[in-house]
């Protein structure tokens, strides 16, 4: 088997997903586990629940590098290979949120999820990591679960077993055989590892990539040609519907703040999604930082956005 990938696992300090305190990386080359590495990451705001899960405290990571400092190493270890994780939505979300928190652009990477693929391979009562690892012939010691290095190794062995069962050494072919598409992160958007051609209702699983820009939009409307990013929850519509409204106007809906962003629409901020002590989202902070560097970005509220839709002749509600 010539399968090559890097499996990854993060543990976080608190309920904010962008608070990684440790990362485990396992390298797989030619279908064989080659090496596993684990690095601590400094965080200060730990909560008791997270500590009870992984056992790491602020004292343990006091001398560790920050995520900003360690990210170039993580990125270099991935090195353009596909990434694998169990419940990849969480671990890739850690990458996105932690990068947003320090105003670093998202990378370009492809990833597979052993949770999603495991559900299409094994008949199990539970698809938590220990159960899937056991089904893959790699029993996970109860004391080892939630240790980043061990969980990364387990995810690697699960993916190798899934690939053997489906008789392929190509992750894209593997996903396709299950009717899935691999997840992707790009500098201005992302999509999960999910069913091919699956288009859920607005606001329930739709990626910004699923949105089609109206080629016949009126170029005189205020959103035409604008790169628009939303932060926080809108009271008038779902995020996916807001993306579609922008596209209907000939604008470019974006999932993150990038060099393409001209307009940031500011909605209600969910405190549970903010970094500890922060009152504004990382997208808002990144927009302000880019604006200070001279980028043409305007930050508006939801009422202003609805007014723009009205001016464009688009029904808002």
194-195 and 83-85: which strand pairing?
unpaired
Tokens 């002590």 locate to 277
Residue 124 near residue 109, CB atoms below 8 Å: no
Quote the pLDDT of residue 203.
39
pLDDT for residue 270: 60
In CATH, the number for domain 5-195 is 3.30.420.10
Query: What pLDDT score was predicted for residue 206?
Result: 62
Strand, coil or helix: 17: coil
For residue range 180-213, list pLDDT tens digits in order. 999 999 987 888 888 876 443 333 456 787 888 9
Summarised one tens digit per residue, pLDDT across range 7-60 is 999 999 988 889 999 999 999 999 999 999 999 999 999 999 889 889 999 999
Q: Measuring CA to CA, which residue among 127, 109, 119, 134 is closest to residue 178?
A: 119
Among candidate residues 61, 171, 57, the one with its CA nearest the CA of residue 114: 171
For residues 140 and 195, give the distance between their C-alpha atoms in angstroms, rounded to a whole number: 28
237: its two tokens: 């519509």
Asked: is 208-311 a CATH 3.10.580.10 domain? The reply is no
Q: Which residue has the tokens 């061990």?
A: 150
Q: What helix, strand, coil percent values describe the chain, rounded to 5?
A: 35, 20, 45
Domain positions in the chain: 5-195, 208-311
Q: Which residue has the tokens 């990684």?
A: 20
Residue 85 has what pLDDT?
97
- pLDDT value of position 213: 92
Q: How far apart are the first and last CA of the chain?
A: 53
Identical topology for domains 5-195 and 208-311: no
What pLDDT shows up at residue 197?
A: 60
Q: What pLDDT is stored for residue 36 in this prediction?
A: 96
287, containing H or E segment: helix 282-292
Q: Which long-range contacts (CB under 8 A, 24 or more apart) does 171-179 make?
A: 171/3, 171/5, 171/82, 171/84, 171/110, 171/112, 174/112, 174/117, 175/112, 175/117, 178/117, 178/120, 178/121, 179/120
Sign of CA pseudo-dihedral 71, 77, 81, 87: negative
Task: Write the DSSP string, 147-175.
Answer: -HHHHHHHHHHHHHHHHHHTT-S-HHHHH
Tokens of 205: 């699983």
For the chain, residues with pLDDT lower than 70 are: 1, 197-206, 269-280, 316-317
């Amino acid at each position: 088997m010539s399968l090559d990938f890097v499996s990854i696992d993060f543990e976080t300090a608190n309920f904010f997903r962008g608070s990684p305190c440790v990362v485990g990386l396992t390298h797989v080359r030619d279908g064989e586990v080659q090496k596993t590495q684990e690095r601590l990451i400094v965080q200060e705001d730990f909560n008791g629940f997270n500590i009870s899960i992984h056992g790491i405290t602020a004292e343990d990571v006091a001398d560790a590098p920050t995520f900003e400092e360690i990210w170039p190493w993580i990125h270099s270890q991935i090195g353009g290979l596909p990434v694998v994780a169990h419940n990849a939505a969480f671990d890739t979300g850690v990458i996105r949120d932690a990068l947003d928190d320090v105003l670093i652009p998202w990378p370009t990477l492809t990833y597979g999820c052993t949770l999603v693929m495991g559900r299409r391979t094994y008949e199990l009562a539970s698809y938590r990591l220990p159960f899937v690892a056991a089904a893959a012939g790699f029993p996970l010691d109860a004391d080892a679960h939630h240790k980043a290095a061990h969980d990364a190794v387990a995810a690697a062995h699960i993916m190798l077993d899934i690939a053997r069962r489906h008789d392929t050494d190509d992750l894209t072919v593997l996903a396709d055989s299950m009717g899935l598409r691999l997840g992707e992160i790009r500098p201005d958007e992302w999509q999960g590892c999910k069913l091919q051609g699956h288009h859920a209702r607005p606001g329930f699983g739709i990626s910004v990539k699923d949105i089609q820009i109206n080629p016949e939009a009126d170029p005189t409307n205020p959103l035409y040609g604008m790169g628009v990013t939303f932060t926080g929850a809108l009271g008038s519509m779902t995020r996916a519907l807001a993306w579609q409204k922008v596209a209907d106007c000939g604008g470019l809906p974006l999932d993150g703040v990038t060099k393409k962003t001209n307009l940031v629409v500011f909605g209600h901020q969910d405190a549970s999604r903010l970094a500890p002590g922060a009152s504004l989202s990382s997208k808002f902070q990144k927009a302000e930082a880019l604006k200070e560097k001279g980028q043409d970005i305007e930050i508006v509220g939801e009422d202003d956005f609805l007014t723009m839709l009205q001016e464009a002749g688009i029904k808002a509600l």
